[in-house]
């Protein structure tokens, strides 16, 4: 075996993957050739250093807050996508318009009082204002995200200044009132893409506001 | 007369990767306590059970439990990210991506392996696919010959400094050669596994390793 042939096979030799015949030839060469022997020693040194590198390295800063934020944002995101799909699909929009018009009429005829009473009651109320499954699914997603954030906020409420809690509650009341208005408008003009968009962005505002407070409270 | 007395039980030789893992576990155990390998084995089982409890809590949506899993594994994930990417700031982003992805896929973890073993291929995938995506995004051609001159170490050393020198030299390798070297020589993967992970041919993986080792030798001896 020549020096060049040895150099080509040295990696396999050091890794223990060289075939039996070549192994013998190569070892015979190494025993006789100082230069190739030196080459082998240097190669083994790099391989040994690599295997001895520490398995763990601490990042220079805590990466957790960024991870927690992204997970919280991802939990809220599916709702936006669902709602966007709902108003960008013309066929679904048309079908929804027909169903909504029917539902609105039926609701008015059957139970105006029940509809009035349900206005501030979350899940019950969505059943009254639309039967479009996409819109209902989107609202459910938003409700779930909001409920999770509210629960997170509840556990930290004690740590927050009372005026902050009061301000958050005021904001939530305002946003809920806006949501009721948009739903009423959608009832009268079902399938209106601007109104659907407004509904989604109002929901998103609520989620964003809650996320901000939860994040702030976790930094206290 | 028992006939088994003089026979050695045949056991298949462990792979390089297992040897490295065993070596690392042994080092860790030495640090863990004064009782050598006996007590630490028990603590390993305890740690595994505790970890599985945290995973189940996290699967049920408990962020505090997931944060604890993050704290226990971030060192391992970050080390792999920085070595594969060769860039500290990028490695921070990648490590975050890994944990966000882990959270999304937590439902698929059934506890057959340690959580760290489950995170490992996920980390490799995140780091390598980011590089592929970046290569597609930037029109800039990153030839694998685009090797910036190595920073010369102040002196040659064989102690803990040697590791630092190697880390520095690693960061300057061309991306393809670097990832093959890290996966093969640091993490103990075989060429066949690297080929599956990175989507290159096994022969390419061997050639990249050869190249990386040669460049590192030159850098460390400069």
The answer to whether position B164 is within a domain reads yes
The stretch A123-134 carries a mean pLDDT of: 60
Residues in chain B with CB shorter than 8 Å from the CB of A67 are 70, 96, 99-100, 103
| Count of C-beta atoms within a 10 Å radius of residue B200 | 17
Number of domains forming the structure of chain B: 2
Query: Nearest-CA neighbor of B63 among A210, A155, A71, A150?
Result: A71
| Count of C-beta atoms within a 10 Å radius of residue A147 | 12
The answer to whether position B14 is within a domain reads no
| Count of C-beta atoms within a 10 Å radius of residue B102 | 23
Tens digit of each residue's pLDDT (9 = 90 or more) over B18-49:
555 544 444 444 444 344 444 445 567 778 88
The answer to whether position B69 is within a domain reads yes
The answer to whether position B12 is within a domain reads no
Q: Find the domain containing B202 and state its range.
A: 158-222
- Cβ-based interface (< 8 Å): residues of B facing A: 16, 20, 23-24, 61, 63, 66-67, 70-71, 74-76, 78-79, 82-83, 88, 91-92, 95-96, 99-100, 103-104, 162-163, 166-167, 181, 185-186, 188, 206, 209-210, 213, 216-217, 220-221
- Note the ipTM here: 0.71
| B188 — pLDDT class (breaks 50, 70, 90) | very high
Q: Are residues B56 and B111 in the same domain?
A: yes
User: Closest partner residue to A49 among B16, B103, B166, by Cβ?
Assistant: B166
Q: Are B58 and B65 in contact (CB under 8 A)?
A: yes
The answer to whether position B48 is within a domain reads yes
Q: Are residues B127 and B52 in the same domain?
A: yes
Q: What angle do CA B98, B75, B96 make, to 5 degrees?
A: 25
DSSP A52: T
Q: Are residues B87 and B168 in the same domain?
A: no
Tens digit of each residue's pLDDT (9 = 90 or more) over A137-170:
778 878 888 888 888 778 777 777 787 788 888 8
Q: Are residues B56 and B126 in the same domain?
A: yes
User: Closest partner residue to B186 among A15, A53, A60, by Cβ?
Assistant: A53
Higher model confidence: residue A48 or residue A219? Answer: A48
Tokens 């880390």 correspond to what residue?
B167
Query: Any idea what the CATH number is for the domain that residue B115 is in?
Result: 1.10.1740.10
Whether residue A124 is predicted with pLDDT greater than 70 in this model: the reply is no
What pTM was computed for the model? 0.57
Maximum separation of any 2 CA atoms in chain B, in Å: 76
Query: Any idea what the CATH number is for the domain that residue B198 is in?
Result: 1.10.10.10
Tens digit of each residue's pLDDT (9 = 90 or more) over A11-27:
999 999 998 889 999 99
The answer to whether position B207 is within a domain reads yes
DSSP B173: S
Given B86, B108, B137, which residue is the final one in a domain? Answer: B137
Residue A133: CA atoms inside 13 Å, Cβ hemisphere, count?
2
Question: What CA–CA distance (Å, rounded) separates A197 from A212?
Answer: 22
The answer to whether position B1 is within a domain reads no
Q: Are residues B172 and B117 in the same domain?
A: no
Q: Write down the domain spans for chain A.
A: 3-51, 64-219
DSSP B182: I
Q: What are the structure tokens assigned to B160, written together?
A: 């803990």
Q: Are residues B170 and B124 in the same domain?
A: no
């Amino acid at each position: 075996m020549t020096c060049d042939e040895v150099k080509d096979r040295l990696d396999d030799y050091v890794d223990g993957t060289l075939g039996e015949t070549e192994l013998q030839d190569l070892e015979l060469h190494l025993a006789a050739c100082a230069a190739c022997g030196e080459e082998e020693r240097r190669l083994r040194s790099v391989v040994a250093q690599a295997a001895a590198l520490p398995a763990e390295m601490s990042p220079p800063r805590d990466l957790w807050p960024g991870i927690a934020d992204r997970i919280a944002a991802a939990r809220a995101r599916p709702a936006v996508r669902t709602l966007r799909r709902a108003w960008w699909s013309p066929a679904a929009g048309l079908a929804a318009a027909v169903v909504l018009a029917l539902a609105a009429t039926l609701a008015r005829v059957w139970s105006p009082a029940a509809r009035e009473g349900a206005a501030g009651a979350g899940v019950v109320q969505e059943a009254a204002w639309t039967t479009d499954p996409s819109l209902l699914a989107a609202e459910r997603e938003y409700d779930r995200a909001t409920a999770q954030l509210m629960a997170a906020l509840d556990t930290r409420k004690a740590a927050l200044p009372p005026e902050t809690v009061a301000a958050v509650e005021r904001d939530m009341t305002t946003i809920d009132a806006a949501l009721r208005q948009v739903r009423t408008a959608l009832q009268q003009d079902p399938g209106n893409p601007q109104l659907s968009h407004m509904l989604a962005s109002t929901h998103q505002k609520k989620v964003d506001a809650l996320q901000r407070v939860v994040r702030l409270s976790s930094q206290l | 007369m028992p006939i088994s007395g003089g026979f050695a039980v045949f056991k298949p030789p462990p792979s390089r990767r297992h040897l490295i893992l065993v070596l690392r576990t042994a080092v860790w155990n030495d640090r863990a306590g004064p009782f050598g390998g006996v007590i630490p084995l028990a603590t390993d089982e305890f740690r595994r059970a505790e970890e599985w409890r945290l995973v189940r809590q996290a699967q049920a949506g408990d962020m505090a439990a997931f944060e604890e899993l993050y704290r226990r594994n971030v060192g391992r994930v970050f080390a792999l990210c920085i070595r594969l990417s060769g860039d500290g700031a990028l490695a921070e982003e990648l490590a975050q991506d890994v944990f966000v992805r882990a959270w999304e896929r937590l439902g698929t973890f059934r506890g057959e392996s340690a959580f760290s073993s489950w995170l490992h291929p996920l980390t490799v995938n995140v780091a390598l696919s980011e590089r592929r995506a970046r290569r597609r995004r930037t029109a800039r051609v990153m030839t694998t010959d685009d090797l910036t001159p190595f920073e010369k170490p102040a002196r040659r050393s064989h102690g803990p400094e040697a590791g630092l020198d190697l880390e520095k030299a690693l960061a300057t390798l061309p991306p393809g050669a670097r990832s093959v070297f890290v996966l093969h020589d640091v993490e103990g993967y075989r060429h066949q596994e690297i080929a599956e992970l990175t989507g290159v041919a096994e022969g390419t993986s061997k050639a990249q390793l050869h190249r990386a080792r040669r460049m590192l030798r030159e850098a460390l001896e400069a």
